[in-house]
Structures are given as structure tokens and as C-alpha cells.
Structure 1
Amino acid sequence: MEQITFEDIYTLGKIDAENAEYRHYHYPEMLTRYDSNFIEFKKVPSLAEFKETEKYLRDYHLKKDQKHVKFYFPANIKPAGGLNAYLTDQGYEIGFLELYAIQPKNFPSVRNNPEIDIQVVTDKNLEVFLNLQYQYDLNYGSEFAKQKAELIKRQFEDKNIQQVLAFYKGSPAGYVDIIISSETAEIDNLTVDELFRNKGIGSRLQKFVMESFPEKSVILVADGEDSPREMYKKQNYQYHGFKYGAQKIYQD
């Protein structure tokens, strides 16, 4: 398998500013989506450089009534020393992502359960897709859920994104987005409703991706501290590195 990096991962957002130190991503259509409104450092900043960039992003977001700042650091480097101490002291939430990839032929066999039905999202089932995601996204607030619904509609029109629904005994139970590039198919937004977990739905959704794009490398990003990453390892995904991030949400 060719080397997969975080550069292969799709970013929803436009580069608003760029210099030798960082890229600033902004997505005006969804200001509440933290992973579309952030700064990504090209090199680990000094504490002074970070503070200067922090002020820039905070001021930029304040003008747009955004109540967060978020930063990603270069892949495979953990913030340390004075920078890490500052982030901790300032109340940042620090976490890391892990990058995985697999050749579809290496994905384990999945039992064919006739109670699970996988469907590509079309005009006929788009409303079902929207409703299922809306209920899940309400966990992040009604405004976020409304903006996410508009995002889903935009992505429905994007030929490089395929939206997929899973049904269990006729009830909508899960979904995944597939982001398609020339070399890769990226699994994104893989979600199974709590009522239908541990029934093999997540595996069936992934198997659908493998069967749909057998000649591409299938890639995904997992939260480095969540349990799904252990599932991916058991499913023969290969680890390709990590990336640390830090975010802070302001109350005023």
C-alpha cells in the first residue's frame, strides 16, 4: 500500500489564509462546525508563535460570532513543553486523531444478514437520511442540526460524495458518507443508532464501501481515545499515524 497521510483526508472548508506557519480553514456555510473552522500548523509553533496565532483566530471568530478556537498540529508530533503546559492551563481540550487505511480485499468477510438493508441515498430516501441525522445531531444543539441538514443537501449534489443508509428490519438504523478521490475512498460520518448497535450494521456499511470501490485504498480517521479504533485494527486496517489537536469553547 502506498503511503497514506493526513493530506489524503478530505477537509470541509476553504483556506482563508495561508503562510509559512499555518493554514487557516473557514467554512462560512457552517460556522458551528469546529472541524471546518480551524488553523492547521505546518510546523510546531513556539509558545510565542502560538499565542500570536491564537489571538488572530480568536479575533477573527469573534467578528463572526463564533465561540471557539481550534488548532491542529503537524502529524506524528505531540505538543510538549511550554506549549502543552499553556494549552492545559488555558483549559483547552487536547486530543488526537489516528489515520487508518485498508485495501478492500483485506477486509474480513461479513455475514449476510437479510434483516440489514444497505441503500445509496437517492431522491426517494433523502428525507429519511435527513431525519435520521437530524435526530442524532440534536445532541450538539438545534442550530447545529439545522446547519448540518443544509450541509447534507449540498453534499447530496456533490458527485464526489456518496451517502449511504442502513436499515434494520425496515427501520433506518445507520449511515456513512463516502468521499471519493482518484486514489482513495474515505469513510466519514459512520454512525449507527444506539437502538441498533451490536447487530453488525457498522461492518455491513463498511463492507458496502469495500465492494463499491475495490480498486481504491479505503481510508478513515478515528478518535485516538475512542473504542472504534480497536474495531478497525481487528478489521485489518493499517495504522498510518496520528495528529494532535486542541480546541477551546468560550462561554461569552
Structure 2
Amino acid sequence: MKKITFQNIFTRGHVIVENACYRQIHYPEMLMRYDSNFIEFKRMPTVETFKEVEGYLREYHLNHGQNHLKFYFPENQQPTEEIQNYLRENGYSQGFLELYGIKPQSFPVIEMNPAISIQTVTKDTLAILQQLKYQNDLVFGREFADQKANLIKKIVDEPNVQQLLAFYEGQAVGYVDLILSKDTVEIDELSVSESYQKKGIGSHLQRFAMDHYPDRMIILVADGEDTPREMYQKQQYHCFGFQYEVLKEC
């Protein structure tokens, strides 16, 4: 298997510009989705280059009714102090992501709880998934949640995505998307309802991936400043790298 990098992570969007400096991802089907509308630098830019690319993206997004700027920097590289100063002075929020992976055989053995059931989403259970995700997506606004509901309906027919629902004593309380490729299975949007957390439901969702795809590397991206990453570390996931990201409303 080739080295696992952020290029193994699925991006929902279209590459509309690519050159030696960066690639631009655009997703007209959901313009409000930051993770689908951004520029990723292929090499660390100077401040002058960043300003030039920033101006281009601002004009492009405004012309398409988008009010955000999002950039990713090359993986495993921290932005220079000069760039960080510029970002702070111009109101960007800064963060970083960590890429984790684990071979299914290394995932800890868990005690299977008969009260927990993991099921693949079908057209018969799609509405249940939409409702769960809708409630979580409302934090980003009703318009975003409505657009996301339409996206979920589209995903159910995509052969490279397996959507899962977790039930606790018959009640739908969690979900995850598994994004399938030849060598990897990416865990995406893993979520468990707050009142049902710490019951092992998240582990059961992960266990499904381990059991059904034993010959592939299971990968995921975690916020480098959030607590779920600590859970993945305890579960023996290996950190393959990091990537800085910045975001600004315009």
C-alpha cells in the first residue's frame, strides 16, 4: 500500500483550477459547504502570493454568491510566521487537521452490546438519517441544513459511499459515512446523539468498518484541537500527518 496522505481523503467538489501553486475546489451543488469550496496550496506561498490568490478567490466566490474564503496549506508544513501574522491581522480563524489510520486487526476488541444495532442505510431508512443529520446541521443555519438534506438523498445512490445508522434499543441515535476506495475506507461524519454518548455506540460504528473491510486501511481526519482525536489515539489509530487550514467570512 502506498503512503497514506491527505490526498487519500475524499473531497466532495470539482477541481476547476490546478497549477503548480494550488488547486481550487468548487461545488456549485452546495455553495455554502466550506469543505467543498476552497483553495489548497501545493507549496507554501509567500505573503505576496497568498494575497494574490486570496484576491482571486474573493472575487470568484463573491461572483458566485459565496461569502467565505477557505485555504489549506501543504500537509505537514506550518505556515511561516509572516503568513500567520497576515492571517491574524486580517481576521482569519486558524486551525489544523490530523490524519489518522488503523489496520482493522489493530482496532481494540470491544464488548458487543446487543442493545446496539448497526444498519446500512437504504431508501426505506433514508428519512431517519436525514432527520438525525438535519438536527445536527441546524447549528450552521436552516438554509445549510436544507441543502445538506438534499445532498444526503443523492449520496445514498453513490457506490463509493456506505451510510450507516446506529440504533440503541430500536432508537436511531447515531450515524457515519464510510467512503470506500481500493485501499482505504474513510470514516466521515461520525456522530452520536449527546444523550447516548459513552455507551460504546461510536465504537460499534467503527467496528462495523473494521469487520466488513479487514483488508483495507481505515482512515479519518480529526480536528487537531478537538477532543475526539484523543479517543482515536486511545483506540490505537496512527497519526500520518497534519494540515493547517484557515477560514474567513467576506
Band of TM-score, shorter chain: over 0.9
Matched, 1:102 2:90: no
Query: CA shift at 1:212, angstroms?
Result: 1.0
* 3-state SS, counterpart of residue 55 of structure 1: helix
d(CA) in 1 for partners of 2:51 and 2:17? 17
Q: Residue 150 of structure 1 corresponds to which residue in structure 2?
A: 150
Query: CA shift at 1:86, angstroms?
Result: 0.3
Matched, 1:17 2:17: yes
1:1-252 equivalent positions in 2, closer than 5 A: 2-250=2-250
Unaligned runs of at least 5 residues, structure 1: none
Query: CA shift at 1:190, angstroms?
Result: 0.5
With normalisation by structure 2, the TM-score equals 0.98
Query: CA shift at 1:2, angstroms?
Result: 4.6
* 3-state SS, counterpart of residue 108 of structure 1: coil
d(CA) in 2 for partners of 1:91 and 1:244? 16
RMSD: 0.8
**Same amino acid, percent of matched pairs:** 54
Deviations 1:139-190 (A, max 9, x none): 1100110111111111111000000000111111110000000110000011
d(CA) in 2 for partners of 1:238 and 1:14? 29
With normalisation by structure 1, the TM-score equals 0.98
Query: CA shift at 1:95, angstroms?
Result: 0.3
Equivalent pair of 2:123/2:156 in contact (CA under 8 Å): no
Query: CA shift at 1:195, angstroms?
Result: 1.5
What amino acid does structure 2 have at the position aligned with 1:97? L
Runs of 4+ aligned structure 1 residues displaced above 2 Å come to none
Aligned length in residues: 250
* 3-state SS, counterpart of residue 209 of structure 2: helix
Unaligned runs of at least 5 residues, structure 2: none
Deviations 1:9-46 (A, max 9, x none): 10110001111100000000000100100000000000
What amino acid does structure 2 have at the position aligned with 1:13? G
* 3-state SS, counterpart of residue 24 of structure 2: strand
